[in-house]
Structure 1
Amino acid sequence: MQQNDETDLRLLAALQRDATLTAQDLGERLNLSPSQAARRRQRLEQTGVITGYRATVAPERVGLGVEAFIQVMMAAHSEANANDFRRMCDRREEIVGVWVMTGEADFMLRVWCADLAALSRLVQQALLPHPAVARVQSQIVMDRVKADAPLPVSAG
């Protein structure tokens, strides 16, 4: 693994705040020429430090009114069950994040649904009937205080 210097970390911090920055913009912020900034960004992309770029979408503007986290406890712990459950999660577009957890829950799902009825359908018609699932516990997000903040990259 290549060690990133302070300039790389500053570049990463800037791109996490605004991925649309041009090489000119980055150069000005980092005290580099645009070509130097572009080469650094390209190296970080090629080495897998930067894994992609995306737009941030306002959920309410696209009809998504309910965000929830769902803890899933598995009925049986086998590789086949876990893989089948992962495939099901991958196919469901309302499931936007899946984590394998320690503790009581085996998986934590982050979901976005149009409304509570859609969340109920996801739980009742997709999650609970799945043969690998023993039980689920949902928490509905009331307010997003600090959501999807940039990673804490720094030189220290």
Structure 2
Amino acid sequence: MDAIDRNIIRLLRLDGRMSNSALAAAVGLSPSACLRRVNLLEQSGVIRGYTAIIAGPEEEGVVAVVRITLERQTEEYLNRFETAVRRHPEIQECFLMTGDSDYILRATASSTADYERIHKEILTRLPGVVRIHSSIAMRSVLRPGRRTKAHAAGG
């Protein structure tokens, strides 16, 4: 992968629906050469797919970043926890971590009262959890799908 491939990936991250001709012009290639590179990036698995970023409760509600510590870090405990997390659409993201917390989650709620419900009815009942530390986001500064053309240009 060279600088042109990295530039293609950067631009597609900002706008996955960018036309091939616009992408080619932005990276300085002919449309056919650009399409060949995109196809190779897809076939090699570097580009695994494209997605739509949908407005959800976090647009108007509460976003909580939640650090979870488990009782144990055995394969059984990790698997049980991860299986349970996948059952709850209120939890948008879940990362297995190094450091002080075993997992970091991103959960969304319509209000702080709704987040309290999620905390009581979902997070405290996840298997193996011994500690929950929640932080409520005040506002989003940077998030996928919220970049402007100024970001794409580097300004």
* Residue matched to 1:66: 62
Q: How many residues are aligned here? A: 146
On the 8 A contact 2:84/2:127 being kept in 1, the answer is no
Q: 1:117 aligns with which of 104, 113, 119?
A: 113
Q: 2:5 aligns with which of 2, 5, 8?
A: 8
CA distance in 2, matches of 1:37, 1:98: 34
CA distance in 1, matches of 2:18, 2:127: 47
On the 8 A contact 1:75/1:131 being kept in 2, the answer is no
Gaps of 5+ in 2: 148-155
User: How far has the Cα of 1:34 moved from its partner?
Assistant: 1.4
After superposition, residues 36-115 of structure 1 pair within 5 angstroms as 36-59=33-56, 65-115=61-111
CA distance in 2, matches of 1:37, 1:46: 14
Q: Normalising by structure 2, report the TM-score.
A: 0.84
Larger RCO (alpha carbons 8 Å, 6+ apart): 1
Q: Normalising by structure 1, report the TM-score.
A: 0.83
User: How far has the Cα of 1:64 moved from its partner?
Assistant: 5.0
Percent identity between matched residues is 32
Q: 1:29 aligns with which of 8, 26, 32?
A: 26
* Residue matched to 1:141: 137
SS at match of 1:99: strand
Gaps of 5+ in 1: 151-156
Matched, 1:18 2:30: no
User: How far has the Cα of 1:65 moved from its partner?
Assistant: 0.6
* Residue matched to 2:150: none
Supply the RMSD in Å over aligned alpha carbons: 2.1
CA distance in 1, matches of 2:96, 2:24: 39
* Residue matched to 2:153: none
SS at match of 1:96: strand
